[in-house]
Structure formats: C-alpha cells, structure tokens
Amino acid sequence: MNLIKVLLFIFFIYNNLQAHTLLVDITKNDNNTITVNAQFDTKQKASGAMLRLESLISGEVLYKKRFPYESKLIVDIPKEQYQIVVDAGEEQIVKKGIEPNEGFTKLASKEILDKLSKNKEDHHELGITLIIFLFIGFILIILAIYFSAKNTKKIIEELKKS
C-alpha cells in the first residue's frame, strides 16, 4: 500500500513538471502582417512572454515586445528573412519566419544563422524527463535489493527450521 502511494506521488510530481509546455501559433494575414498567439498547454495565457523577430541577414532584433494579457500580437512582416522567437523564461520557441506576399528581398547567410537564438531543447542538457526516469529507476533498484534481501532472509530461516 505504501508503494502505491509513493508511485502515485511520483506520477503527480512528473505531471506537474511537464504541465507547462509553451504553444505558439503563427498566422499570416492578408495585409502583410502575422498574428502570433502564445499559450501554455494548460490553456494559461503566456502574457509577459517576450516576442522577438530576429534577422537572418544581420542577426539584429527587428521587433521586440512582450505579449499583452490576451497573449496575441499582430506584427508587420519584415522584408528580409527572419525567425520568430518566443521566450517565456525557461522555455524558448524558435520558428521560421513567414514570407511576405512579395517575397523576401534579402536572403540569410550561414555565419549569422549560427549566432541566432535556438530552441532551448536544442541545447545538450539533461531533460527533466530523463532525470525523472533515472530517479524512478534508482528507486526501483533500491526496492529490488530490499525485497531480495528480505526474501533471502526468509528462505534462510525456513531452511534452518527444516
């Protein structure tokens, strides 16, 4: 019974750690603007998250603004290639910029692409999921050793009696 409580506790902790995934929706409008919506998968609005449009030509920030309460911004589409970065603290989403109706006037260079923002999951860090699974595996190994020692002790006592 105690084991079930521990497993349920670990399950709820895991669910709460994974509960806030940032979702970004980018829609092209007819008037050469884009609408960027950001929210978490819990339907919580991402107000206060930072929206940046970064040039793929020079690496400079073309547009920078925090999401208002409604978590929706309408932005003019730049004439040069760009990427859309939504930074919500621990999580950062990078998406390819949408082309304007008349197309881009300048194209990106490889050198600048290396300097620009990347998704945080692209970095070589241990994910929270991996850490949780390693912790659960460690607990299961400890439990296996405990029950193995307990059963071995019972078997030895039964052998001594007979």
Kindly report the CATH number assigned to the domain that includes residue 29: 2.60.40
Would you state the pLDDT for residue 141? 95
Residue 112 banded pLDDT, cuts 50, 70, 90 = low
Q: Please determine, for residue 113, whether its predicted confidence score (pLDDT) is greater than 90.
A: no
Q: CA 116, 121, 125, 128 torsion: positive or negative? A: positive
Does residue 73 fall inside a structural domain? yes
Q: How many C-beta atoms surround the C-beta of residue 44 within 10 A? A: 11
pLDDT higher for 126 or 59? 59
Does residue 138 fall inside a structural domain? no
Give the chain's domain count: 1
Most confident of 4-13, 17-26, 43-52, 100-109: 43-52
pTM beyond 0.95: the answer is no
pLDDT higher for 87 or 104? 87
Does residue 146 fall inside a structural domain? no
Phi/psi-derived region of residue 136, left when phi > 0, alpha when psi is between -120 and 50, beta in every other case = alpha
Does residue 95 fall inside a structural domain? yes
Q: Any idea which of 33-37, 100-104, 137-141 has the lowest mean pLDDT? A: 100-104
Does residue 133 fall inside a structural domain? no
Give the structural domain span for 85. 20-122
Would you state the pLDDT for residue 122? 47
Does residue 161 fall inside a structural domain? no
Does residue 37 fall inside a structural domain? yes
